[in-house]
A and B are shown apart, each in its own frame.
Chain A
Amino acid sequence: MNSFWNGKRRFVALLMFLAGVFVALRVPPAIPFIQLPGENFPEGYNFPITDIRLTNTMVGAVIVWVLLLLFVVYVSRRRPKDGNEVPPGGFYNMFEMLFEGLMGFVGGIAGGRHFRLIFNMFMTIFLVVLLANWMELVPGVDTIGFIHPHVKEKYDPVADEYKAVTTDGFEIYQGFLGFSYVNAQCDWISPADEATADEMALANAEVAAMAARQTLIEDEAYERYKAEHGGHDDVEHAEDDHAGEAGDDHGDRAEDAGDTGAVAVARQEALDARTAEKQARRDRGCYTGVAVSSWEDGYEPADKEKKKEPIPLHPDPASEEAKRVPWVVLPFVRVPSTDLNMTLTLALISFVMIQYIGFKALGIGYLTKFFNFGTLFKSPLGGIDVAVGLLELIGDFAKILSFSFRLLGNIFAGSILLFVMSFLIPILPWPFFILEFFVGVIQALVFALLTAIFMNLATVSHHHDDDHDHAEAH
């Protein structure tokens, strides 16, 4: 240990520590932004060929598969073909040690007729979950990604206007004509809010109607301004005045919105300009980088007056007003075990394998474990057997829930812990990384071990041939 820290390594460590201090002082840490479902990538980042939007947990899962495949190829290539070869060392040896140790471990639990199948399932689940869990320790996972303002727009039916809200749904400003910033297309932050095509069409129609109404209001204000300051110059103004006289009533004006002449042209131009602006905002929607920026004066402006000011939806990151916006990062890669989809899938696979091995070992008689009517009329306690069987049935389905939520809860809580600790003590969050290292191993082991044990239990009959099976196992 001592010799490890001699020489240059000491200085490298010191340098990294100083860099940590410098970064922690210089750059405000990103606000921990916590979202339970996997975050959707912005539009255009689809899963290849299909139109399924990628999520960052999906990317993490793909990385896990690729790594696992690479390991498999590596291990099967390095495997000595005969006993005469030089014993392999290094990375390969680690796998050999792992497999040997766990083979003995599982053999002690489920070393029966079905050991091969059980061990294969155990090892597959163990490696997948282990790699997935350890991804949270890799720097850059959960921290490097698209940077976007922590803002989106939500239609408020009561006030009949669009309001900017944070992605949690909290309003951050009120009373501003938000709809000129409506950007239904960029609603990719929360998958729950993703609109269907019909809803999108409806929203677009709504937006168009509001834009038209806004144009009317603006025209009216313009004309009032003209009337106050005297419209005397040229033909265009005369026409404007004429239009103002002709349509005192709003409804009338709305109906003859398509009138010819300069007004219509101007209106069209204004609409075009607004559309172009909207498109520009939409294009500017997402940035790529590392999360370094946070809201300068906290989550909420301390200044009451400042709170009233509208916060732009997609501000230029270089501008002054961008400092008032809470910026969050949408990571490229997130730990796949923090997504219920992944853990639930694994739990379902495990559940199916448990039932499969049960049927394989006991045939159709496996069902008597759940529907045990054989003793109903034979023994006085037959009813209890039936109830126990039904309880087993419910318990088997509860396994899916408990498997998936155990892994999800542990790893999600772990990554929140790492996130918050890196936020609170940016220089020294290492102890928590060590903790999470062990939590990752234990959870992978527990998931795989429980699968192995339940598979082993499913192969054991409940009836009199119990002893026979046990005798075979030992």
Chain B
Amino acid sequence: MSNIGSYEERTQYFNWDIAKDILDWKEGELLNIGAICSDRICNRGDGKKTALIWEGFGDKSARYTFDDLRVYSNGFAKFLSEQGIEPGDRVCLFMDKIPSLYFSFLGVLKMGAIAQPLFSAFGDESLEVRLASAGTRAIFTTRKHVRKVRKIKDRLPNLEKIIVVEGNPDKLKEGEIFFDVENSPRVEEFDVYHSSPETPSVLHYTSGTTGQPKGALHVHNSIWGQALTTSWVLDLKDDDIYWCTADPGWVTGTSYGIIGPWALGATQCVLDSGFTSSRWYKFIQDNRITVWYSAPTAIRALMKDGNELVGDFDLSSLRNLASVGEPLNAEAVIWSGEVFDGLQFHDTFWQTETGAMMITNYPGMEIRPGSMGKPFPGIKAAVLDLDTHEPIDEAGKVGLIAFRPGWPSMFRQYWKQPDTYRSKFVGASENAMPDELRTNPDLWYVSGDRASIDKDGYYWFVGRDDDVINTGGHLVGPFEIESALVEHEAIAEAAAVGKPDKVNMEVVKAFVTLKPGFEPSDDLELDIMNFIRKRLSPLAMPQEIEYRDKLPKTRSGKIVRRYLRAIEWGEDVGDMSSLSDE
């Protein structure tokens, strides 16, 4: 029997307090994500239960109990307090998926600060933009990544504390602090910050079409959405061994790689190693993983390596598979059923802003390969007409995916950008502030994605409603790439769009014009690719660069990305009468 049981009954008799019942949480208890995921599990008698099974590259491995989680997160919390970090301060976590990343995340929350996890593959420019935006006061990082922080720290006046959590302390530069929690005195007691439901918890940066990335701010109350969806969709039970493959630098890695599973007291696995199919299968086999939450890009990469390889491993422990990040194509769903003994991946749809799953496939419900599934109980979803923004009743008609505000894990603001936040709501009054918007049940929060609904209520993803590039399940903003491209000495103008890719759904393609004195060449293309990889991230690196004499522009001089994108996707370019003849 699955945790959700009947989807229809759950939908009919739903309220969010069910999440509190599942955790046996009573009104008046401490509502702090850091404590709920560690102290509370120990208090209920599960301190000795394994919380984290970690493997790194080579033979590195470690196991930690919930009591370890409690003590090490206390250690980070105490350390930050002693460094003068205050509740509400932003503390960046910039490291690979090492155990200290998980301990520090909980520690930051325990002392009332806001955790700002960032993908460790970000280059120094991507890092700087996000730290400057958030006014980050402290950063936890590693020997490997502190170099990027050194390059930018002089331009970040708010960044007071640079803390390296592993490696050789003798290699630190002046002003840097070393803190290795596992080799520091154990901190058995810490007075956890008494957060309210609306106390900020996590700040995740996400990309948009225009401007630099925006910080989506979440609060401690989000835990109810994350815990309940983990229970009902991922179907985690006490004896499960769970693996979420996402990096906590992205929202999946915190919502479902930390908060959801540990709120329930589940044992989870982390593999901090580069991707190869055989390594992943071996990890599942060796750890007897039962529930696996991954991404379409990874699933398609596994498919590419063939069915024969799967047979080399004993994957019989698996019992529930789910996927997130981008639409999971029907072929991948069918393939998983064939190679994993009838188990099909359950696609789940949500985004950084929603904080938790919104439209998903459920255990026990018929999977229609290629469909996103149905709205989570308690979520009021619709697709809105592209012009009128009224909900569409007609089956199969494409519109904008939208949700009525008010679910617990909804983002509370874009960091210091109230106008941008307001622009995400249909029906908002001109001066409405974030608190009014997120609680007004008459508005629609518009996700930025398009879909249709079939006659049985299943949602079917169509595509983005903007120019944001979804590559390997990560959103990359074209503006950020274009801004970096024109910093290259050879480039005069640039446009970045997504182009189709069999594994990553989309990859970045750049169109550029060159400055006088530069000629197109393969070597220049490679130089530009590496320039972006190092400045921004490997995700943002164009995998193809097309040289042009000029770029398509409107008469007012704005580059028309949609024209270039349409050509890449073989779509109708639409009305181009507004293009300049220049």
Chains A and B belong together in one complex:
no
A residues whose Cβ falls under 8 Å from a Cβ of B: none
B residues whose Cβ falls under 8 Å from a Cβ of A: none
